[in-house]
Structure 1
Amino acid sequence: MCGIVGYIGNKRATDVLIEGLSKLEYRGYDSAGAAINTGGNLEVRKFKGRLAVLEENLKEYPVDGNLGIGHTRWATHGAPSDRNSHPHLNMDGTIAVVHNGIIENYMELKEELMSEGVVFKSETDTEVVAHLIDKYYKGDLLDAVYKAMEKLRGAYALGITCKDYPDTLIAARKDSPLIVGLGKEENFIASDIPAILKYTRDVYLLENGEVVVLTKDEVKIYNQNREEVKRDIYHVTWDVEAASKGGYDHFMIKEINEQPSGTKETLVRRLDENKKIKLDNINLTKEDLDKINKVYIVACGTAYHAGLVGRYAIEKFAKIPVETDVASEFRYRDPFVDENTLLIVVSQSGETADTLAALREAKSKGARILAVTNVVGSSISREADDVFYTWAGPEIAVASTKAYTTQLVSLYMIALDMAIKKGTITEEFYNQVITDLGNIPSKIEEIINNSDKIEKIAEEIKEAKNAFYIGRGLDYYVAMEGALKIKEISYMHAEAFAAGELKHGTIALIEENIPVVAIASQSELFEKMVSNMEEVKARGAYVIAVAQEGNKEVEKAADRVIYIPKVNDILASILTVIPLQLLSYYVSVKRGCDVDKPRNLAKSVTVE
């Protein structure tokens, strides 16, 4: 989604803005711009394309000024263009605004403003905000911002500068992420923490409806009632280097290689000295669990695929009925939710708009909310009743890898904890699965260390226009994730199917040399999967199988086989996805795609 950076201090603002925006490129964008308050004017530069276009312009035609707002845009209203890029101005160019989110009633407001003589220059919803602030501006910028906010419906994080206020930066937040960075004789606003880590580790996490007024020496936060509020400083402990490539060609391959440590950290930090699970500060007692009559797991994209595996684990271990739903659909179908419902929301960023909306909907009906997220202090983590943090570390590549595997480990641990408390599994089973989870990181490392074969397979299929992924049971859920990965970063059309459904229409799509990736890790379903591979191979498919070591029978039905180390079938999903991540990565590289920032996609989807 869009990225915002704002600065006020003693440094040249353009330098800070470019540096900050470069750390937000992972969010996805199609244009970039900045507005600098020079003390007597607002100087605006904005261009369609990569941040480098803006950076080159500012190098050739520098702008002096110590106050500025910058933006990377991901188009929602109006096509990518210089004209639609942010910042947007009022008619006389004295107020500039950058915005992340969607103003839902912008057409209504636009028509009202046009009837009053306002002339619009862009097709965006954001320009409405600049004109609306201008409408209410009578010399008091903060008052004008509040009055404009009263008119806005939707989600927004705003950065605002005014020609008449050369020493003041104003920002506001509603349902879109925004943080404040605290420096010495300088302060910052940003959509995400990495943007300001070069300058400070002390931040304020803004709440919904809050407005913040920044000078270089002071930060004041106000609530919806215009009352000043005090906020504890959040000190960032992770290293800025964690968000750099560290010698790898791309963030994605770096993050694939970080999965052994991520899964290990997620596990061992929740085990006591007796190797028993302790779920941070989550207090789900047996009595609490006995009251729960329904569990929902709600998420989007890759997190949804993790949720499918989580559903399997909770139902199998704890014997509680679980329903998994896409967050964007969940609240619109009026699901049955009450005080006996447990809603588990899964989100890497903790800012996913649809997931956050589902959380709020369920919470309003009395449900208990358990969040699985990677970002401390995110909106979802703050609004949930309980939080299970994954220990993936910063994930920069748009295509999620280490967040997914750490989410799987988290959900397995939650399922085990529920089951042992309910008495639906034995102590022996509980201990064995924890031991098996402890062996997962080294097995992931083994797969990664033998990726040469996967790279060769990528070379063989790189020209394919279509691919299919098939599996049964848990393997079907991994097939869904594998298909998503390859299409989102290599633009190869790919679909996942339950292998048992092939005869019900899907097999008509199989043609000569079409790649079919078949996951066959489940012992009780292995023979049926081999049979499905033979079916597609007989119709000309190029079959790439993923199976556990020792299952040589699969070689009769596949053109290529990728073996994973022997593992408990229940946990195989954590391993089978690794070759699929690597295959997607190598295909994308060989096709010359932008691996870390694929077209039309954003890392954190903060609009519905």
Structure 2
Amino acid sequence: MCGIIGIVAGRDVAPLLVDSLKRLEYRGYDSAGIATLDGGALARRRAEGKLVNLENHLKDQPLPGVVGIGHTRWATHGKPVERNAHPHMTKRLAVVHNGIIENFAELRTSLQADGYVFETETDTEAVAHLVTREMDRGLPPIDAVKAALPQLQGAFALAIIFEGVEGLLIGARQGPPLAIGYGDGEMYLGSDAIALAPLTDMICYLEDGDWVVVRKSGATIYDAQNNEVKRAVQKVQSQEFLVSKGNHRHFMEKEIHEQPEVIGHTLAHYLDLSTGTVRQDVAELDFSKIDRLSMSACGTAYYAAAIGKYWFEQIARLPVDIDIASEFRYREMPLSKDTLAMFVSQSGETADTLASLRYCKSQGLKIASIVNVTTSTIARESDAVFPILAGPEIGVASTKAFTSQLTVMASLAVMAAKQRGVIDDAQERALVKQLSEVPRIANQVLKLEGEIEKICRELAQVKHVLYLGRGTSFPLAMEGALKLKEISYIHAEGYAAGELKHGPIALIDDSIPVIVIAPSDRLYEKTVSNMQEVAARGGRIILISDEEGAKNASVDTMATIVMPEMAEFITPLLYALPVQMLAYYTAVFMGTDVDQPRNLAKSVTVE
């Protein structure tokens, strides 16, 4: 998650760029840089580390110019050194980028074959050379960007300025957010409204797939099919810049849509996508010295840990015990000094989880935590801290924190497998490649929301819902049921699909929808048999599967949500999204307080 700012004005923009980057530094502080056009000539200044280093650089070497772009970086591809800092430049343009270009290696090979020389380890440099190649082939800047964008795979936000072309700034959004700011005789692009706060209160949010041509006089927006479109311009009150819903109705909706970007941000912390490896320096922890993992959490974090249990055991061959934190210390489990105790909490202040941590600490165990707030009590009392890097989550029902927790555990499972000698280099690269695809696929899944919204009109009329799943889809079924209960107040239960005939099948009739989470994996056929049991008793099935699974379901469904194809390893991360959207839109139709559901608090700090 990096920060982007772009300005087209009639005054020197460098001070404005730096001021906006200060507001975006929470999005990345590995390096920072700006580039401007002065008399048509491109120039840039970059600095490793925090933004103050760039400010000092600019004091020594000021950068004039009335058009410019700026960037504060959270490293994904390549080390956080000045060479890899944005903006990236060629003889024709400068570009800043937030996100992950999945096919950068293929693009790099193609561009190098055409004689383009790469100077960095980043995926962004492939974008710079790709647009440059289109210009070298005779296309003007706008057409060159239009030709280049379909060649990019991944989730990205871009801002580009061009040598010799003053007064032009081009932006594009495929996943990570990008906002246009409207000023008096000047225009702006920013990663979010916070960056634009000192410049304007008139904001327009690009939709997914949009790209925009920005000049001092205004902005022309095109959709993914290159049709000129209009997007609503809204006046944002100054206090909304601090915590804004953007163009979403609720914080929960906004946070659901932030997941492609947030997951990419988290992956960048734990994986080196340029080498296809897990970063071994994220914590001083050697899984080869651990015989067992004991995990404990509450609520949604517990279901994240339950999915993590499958990953650690299947990929790293590391046995895992998992407990609800409120019960863990009361069962007085025998603990070995060779066990790592791991605790999962969004806030890092969950009282039951903290009490369990202190019990394990009193038994002499090494403590690890997966938290969103690294200054929290749980983090401070841990030997190793793994931040989920989800950013502020305002909605009480956890969404992006849940998938960020899963992202961390998936990365750690690969790390543990490598350290324990369970997988080799090739297997590590394959698993890292699968994880790197999650932001792009998540972006595709979010496009199903219109279809899911229609299903929820009927869900909002029922009183009870069952969720079924096998393998990692079982904890996800429990999480789906929890989400529906939390915000719609509909009674819901999540079960292992194989348990259906051991009791819950007694509930099945035509009044209870059964939501089946069933990617077409090695467990799919067994889940189909459970669907047949439901169908035989008049149950109404909502199936969440991929195209192959939908085709082979062999039962009539009330609705089928067809997911993109993906590797089995990453299905929990991506199938979480339709589960969240089902709960969200059902609650919207029921008119409940989605962001602040009754009787619930964001952080439970009492036992």
TM-score range, shorter chain: 0.5 to 0.7
Unmatched runs of 5 consecutive residues or more in structure 2: 1-196, 198-238
Q: Cα distance, 1:522 vs. partner?
A: 4.7
Contact persistence 1:471–1:518 (CA under 8 A): yes
Q: Structure 1, residues 39-58: CA drift from partner, whole Å, max 9, x if none?
A: xxxxxxxxxxxxxxxxxxxx
Matched, 1:398 2:396: yes
Alignment correspondent of 1:387: 385
Q: Is the 8 A contact 2:395 2:595 kept in 1?
A: yes
1:130 paired residue number: none
1:245 is matched by which residue type in structure 2?
K
Flag the 1:283–1:564 CA change in 2: closer, same or farther, 3 A.
same
What displacement does 1:455 show?
0.3
Deviations 1:6-29 (A, max 9, x none): xxxxxxxxxxxxxxxxxxxxxxxx
Q: Which runs of 5+ in 1 are unaligned?
A: 1-197, 199-238
Tell me the amino acid that sits aligned with residue 255 of structure 1: E
Distance 1:312 1:283, change over 3 A: same
Give 1:564 deviation, angstroms: 1.3
Query: How is 1:10-21 mapped onto 2 (pairs within 5 angstroms)?
Result: none
Matches within 5 A, 1:501-512: 501-512=499-510
The question of whether the paired residues in 1 share the 8 Å contact of 2:271 and 2:411 is answered with: no
Larger deviation, residues 550-559 vs 299-308: 550-559
Matches within 5 A, 1:408-447: 408-447=406-445
What residue is the counterpart of 1:584 in the other structure? 583
| Cα displacement (A) at 1:548 | 1.7
After superposition, what is the alpha-carbon deviation per residue over 1:164-222, rounded to whole angstroms, capped at 9, x for unaligned? xxxxxxxxxxxxxxxxxxxxxxxxxxxxxxxxxx9xxxxxxxxxxxxxxxxxxxxxxxx
Give the letter aligned to residue 452 of structure 1. Answer: G
- What is the deviation of 1:591? 0.5
Aligned to 1:259: 259
Q: What is the DSSP-based 3-state SS (H/G/I as helix, E as strand, rest coil) of the residue aligned with 1:550?
A: helix
Q: How far apart are the structure 2 equivalents of 1:516 and 1:422? A: 40
Contact 2:347/2:371 (CA < 8 Å) preserved in 1?
yes
Higher mean C-alpha displacement, 523-532 vs 587-596: 523-532
Q: CA distance change for structure 1 residues 586 and 555 in 2, over 3 Å: closer, same or farther?
A: farther
Distance 2:453 2:282 in 1: 43
Q: Report the Cα distance in structure 2 between the residues aligned to 1:302 and 1:545, rounded to whole angstroms.
A: 22
Distance in 2 separating the partners of 1:522 and 1:572: 10
d(CA) in 1 for partners of 2:450 and 2:496? Answer: 28
Cα gap change, 1:353 to 1:241, in 2 (>3 Å): farther
The Cα offsets for residues 140-159 of structure 1, whole Å up to 9 and x where unpaired, read as xxxxxxxxxxxxxxxxxxxx
Deviation per residue, 1:552-590 (Å, 9 max, x gap): 112634221101111111210111111010010000010
RMSD: 1.7
C-alpha change, 1:426 and 1:549, in structure 2 (3 Å) is: farther
Instruction: Work out which of the residue numbers 304, 325, 328 in structure 1 matches 2:326.
Output: 328
Alignment of 1:138-177 (within 5 A): none
- Counterpart for residue 496 of structure 1: 494
Q: Distance in 2 between matches of 1:601 and 1:455?
A: 25
What aligned pairs does 1:216-227 form with structure 2 within 5 A after superposition? none
- State how 1:174-323 maps to structure 2 within 5 Å: 241=241, 243-272=243-272, 273-278=274-279, 280-285=281-286, 289-323=287-321
By how many angstroms is 1:258 displaced? 0.4
- Report whether the alignment pairs 1:593 with 2:592: yes
> Contact (CA 8 Å) 1:468, 1:495: kept in 2 or not?
yes
1:310-352 deviations in whole A, cap 9, x for unaligned? 1111111111110111000011111122321101100001110
Of the two structures, which has the highest relative contact order with CA contacts closer than 8 Å and spacing of 6 or more? 1
* Aligned equivalent of 2:546: 548
Mapped contact 1:533–1:558 kept (Cα < 8 A):
no
Structure 2 partner of 1:139: none
Residue pair 1:281, 1:386 contacting (<8 A) in 2 also: no
The answer (yes or no) to whether the contact 1:518–1:545 under 8 Å persists in 2 is: yes
Match of 2:458 among 460, 465, 475: 460
1:515 and 1:544 in contact (8 A); partners too: yes
Distance in 2, Cα, partners of 1:368 & 1:436: 30
Question: 1: distance between equivalents of 2:281 and 2:241?
Answer: 27
Aligned in 2, Cα 1:522/1:313: closer, same or farther, shift over 3 Å?
farther
Residue 270 (structure 1) shift: 2.3
* Distance apart, 1:420 and its partner CA: 0.4
Paired amino acid for 1:283: E
Structure 1 distance, partners of 2:364, 2:516, is 42
Match of 1:479 among 477, 480, 489: 477
Tell me the TM-score normalised to structure 1 length: 0.59
Structure 2 equivalent of residue 560 of structure 1:
559
Q: For residue 275 of structure 1, report the CA deviation from its aligned partner.
A: 3.0
Once the two structures are TM-superposed, the CA of residue 409 in structure 1 deviates from its matched residue by 0.7
Closer, same or farther in 2 for the Cα pair 1:571/1:281, shift >3 Å? closer
Cα distance change of structure 1 residues 242 and 375 upon mapping to structure 2, 3 Å threshold: farther
C-alpha distance after superposition, 1:42-87 (max 9, x if no partner)? xxxxxxxxxxxxxxxxxxxxxxxxxxxxxxxxxxxxxxxxxxxxxx
Q: Matched residues in 1 for 2:561 and 2:343: separation? A: 33
CA distance 1:362–1:522, change in 2 (3 Å): farther
- Is the 8 Å Cα contact of residues 555 and 561 (structure 1) preserved in structure 2? no
- The alpha carbon displacement at 1:245 in A equals 1.2
